[in-house]
């Protein structure tokens, strides 16, 4: 009887031990929202070249919108080049199941196939006292071949309300390229700000902030960038439902007035 009791006692201890280990793992961290890495440029897709179009020029009935679109397009180009692979890799992580790899540290491993090639992605999330530390390692496996490197890293608050990303330029030039600061105070993204941080580049410290609010023109860009001669500021506001909006820039437009366009992108008198 004593032997049976001892055996049962040992089994109970082992069961408690393994149950305790399982509980110690806890839950994996919640991924930051996909929108934390991208700015919505869908209202400003222009077929014009990247030269600045000044509102009021003869023969340009939609010059107010075009000026806003070309200015925003400088930043949209970054999305379609440097950020294409890391953004796609991050968006794919949401459909993957993470694996517990060490104390409060989880890992998502998967493959991403893009027009430019196939990439292996390895995302880690280390849970801290008040935030989660993220690291995304990417390996080029087909057309664009390169060894694994840290393409971006960042932190997010445990409650998912804000965070920051640091994007490195490429495997060939793994230098800090872009800083992304984001907030999500509610169910939708509040702000996303890109700051160009590549050292030694004349564009360094240029930024664009995108945000949503409850105004009639409920979306905006605040832009500060090096235009090849000096740093200039441009403010753009528009409606995400009717698509009308306005733009202002003292440097380019010569005054602090708003220049408006209607739902068809045609210049209109500001009310």
For residue 55, pLDDT over 80 is answered with no
What's the mean pLDDT in 37-48?
A: 86
- 49 versus 234: the higher-pLDDT residue is 234
Mean pLDDT for the chain overall? 88
pLDDT of residue 74: 86
Boundaries of every domain in the chain: 2-268
Cα 24 to Cα 103: distance, rounded to the nearest angstrom = 8
Farthest-apart Cα atoms in the chain, separation: 102
For residue 50, pLDDT over 90 is answered with no
Per-residue confidence band for 13, with pLDDT thresholds at 50, 70 and 90: very low
Nearest partner of 206 among 220, 196, 191, 216, judged by Cα: 196
Q: By percentage, how much of the chain surpasses pLDDT 70? A: 86
Residue 93, CB half-sphere, CA atoms under 13 Å: how many? 31
User: Over the stretch 114-124, which tens digit does the pLDDT of each residue have?
Assistant: 988 999 999 99
What's the mean pLDDT in 189-213?
A: 96
Cα 9 to Cα 167: distance, rounded to the nearest angstrom = 54
pLDDT of residue 48: 61
pLDDT of residue 49: 53
Q: Which two tokens stand for residue 228?
A: 């090849």
If one counts every other C-beta atom within 10 angstroms of the C-beta of residue 150, the result is: 14
Give the chain's end-to-end CA distance (angstroms, integer).
Answer: 93
To the question of pTM greater than 0.75 for the whole model, the response is yes
Cα 233 to Cα 185: distance, rounded to the nearest angstrom = 27
């Amino acid at each position: 009887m004593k032997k049976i009791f001892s055996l049962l006692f040992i089994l109970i201890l082992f069961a408690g031990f393994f149950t305790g280990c399982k509980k110690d793992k806890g839950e994996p961290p919640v991924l930051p929202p996909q929108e934390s890495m991208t700015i919505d440029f869908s209202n400003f897709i222009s077929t014009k070249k990247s030269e600045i179009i000044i509102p009021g020029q003869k023969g340009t009935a939609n010059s107010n919108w075009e000026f806003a679109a070309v200015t925003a397009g400088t930043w949209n180009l970054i999305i379609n080049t440097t950020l294409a692979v890391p953004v796609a890799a991050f968006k794919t992580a949401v459909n993957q199941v993470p694996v517990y790899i060490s104390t409060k540290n989880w890992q998502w491993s998967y493959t991403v196939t893009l027009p430019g090639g196939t990439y292996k992605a390895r995302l880690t999330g280390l849970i801290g006292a008040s935030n989660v530390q993220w690291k995304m390692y990417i390996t080029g496996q087909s057309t664009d071949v390169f060894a694994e490197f840290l393409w971006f890293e960042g932190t997010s608050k445990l409650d998912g309300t804000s965070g920051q990303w640091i994007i490195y330029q490429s495997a060939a030039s793994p230098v800090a390229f872009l800083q992304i600061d984001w907030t999500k105070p509610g169910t939708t993204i509040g702000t996303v700000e890109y700051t160009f941080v590549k050292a030694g580049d004349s564009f360094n410290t240029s930024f664009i902030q995108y945000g949503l609010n409850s105004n009639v023109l409920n979306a905006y860009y605040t832009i500060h960038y090096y235009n090849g001669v000096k740093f200039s500021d441009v403010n753009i506001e528009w409606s995400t439902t009717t698509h009308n909006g306005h733009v202002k820039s003292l440097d380019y437009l010569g005054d602090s007035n708003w220049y408006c366009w209607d739902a068809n992108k045609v210049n209109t008198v500001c009310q």
